[in-house]
Amino acid sequence: MRRFAVIGLGRFGQKLAIALSLSGAEVIAIDKDREEIELIRDQVSHAVRLDSTDEEALKSQSIDKVDVAIIGIGQGTGQGFESAVLTVVNLKQMGVKQIYARAESLTAGEVFSKIGATEVIYPEIESAQRWAYKLIAPQIGEKMDFAPGYSLARVKAPASFDGRTVMDLQLRQRYSVNLVLIKRGEDNKADKSEKGSIINVPMPGTVIYKDDILMVAGSDEDLAKLPQE
């Protein structure tokens, strides 16, 4: 079982610690605020009140032996940012191999990267970007990023695709996206035997029906250009 330390139990840290715990991981939750510790105590493996800028205090809880540490300390004040920086430095010196730091700005993220954070998390920025994309391209459902600006996305086939073949639609030529697979809708015109089935190698002659689920891959910019109706 992997061991995680979540340091800083604000809204982000608290939700992350609980989600990790529900997934079966061993989670040590840390904060300076006694109230935050009491709120989460029964939902994680271990919750402890301590100052994460104190290296010896961290070692006393075996934080040097965790697989992953996530720093979610709020940085609304200079003191919060300073505490987060010192915590990253302590964890690095203690030999924690994977250190993730939550940053509230790109500048803060650059600092965390330079002092040894394995990866920087930008929850506010990333959330805004996800919502912007969702508003611009509501036809795109779940999206999995596999490189900056490129994704595998779930799209419900619009009415304009109904009854047309893969060759007719020319998704690659018109939209620069690749059709990976098709899941037949339950309420469309497909044969009863096909409803809900997966077509994992769509052929040029494969017919697409309205409300089929299409898995497509391409740049986020090109995916957003897929028709909504």
| Structural domains in the chain plus CATH codes | 3-125 (3.40.50.720), 134-223 (3.30.70.1450)
Distance of CA 124 to the CA centre of its chain: 12
Give backbone dihedrals phi and psi of 155, rounded to 5 degrees, phi first.
-130, 135
Q: What is the pLDDT of residue 192?
A: 63
Q: What is the pLDDT of residue 142?
A: 82
Q: What is the pLDDT of residue 9?
A: 95
Q: What is the pLDDT of residue 28?
A: 97
**Identity at 162, one-letter amino acid code:** D
Q: Cβ(4)–Cβ(67) under 8 Å?
A: yes
Q: What is the pLDDT of residue 191?
A: 65
Instruction: Give the span between the Cα atoms of 167 and 208, in whole angstroms.
Output: 10
pTM: 0.68
Question: What's the token pair of residue 144?
Answer: 């999995």
Q: What is the pLDDT of residue 71?
A: 96
Distance of CA 212 to the CA centre of its chain: 26
Instruction: Give the span between the Cα atoms of 112 and 153, in whole angstroms.
Output: 31
Query: Please, what are the averages of pLDDT over each run of 10 residues along the chain (229 residues)?
Result: 92 92 93 94 95 95 95 83 96 96 93 95 84 80 84 92 95 95 80 76 93 93 90
Adjacent-strand bridge partners of 131:
none
Q: What is the pLDDT of residue 183?
A: 93
DSSP secondary structure string for all residues of 165-201: EHHHH-HHHHHS-EEEEEE--SSSSS-GGGTT-EESS
Instruction: Give the span between the Cα atoms of 75 and 57, in whole angstroms.
Output: 21
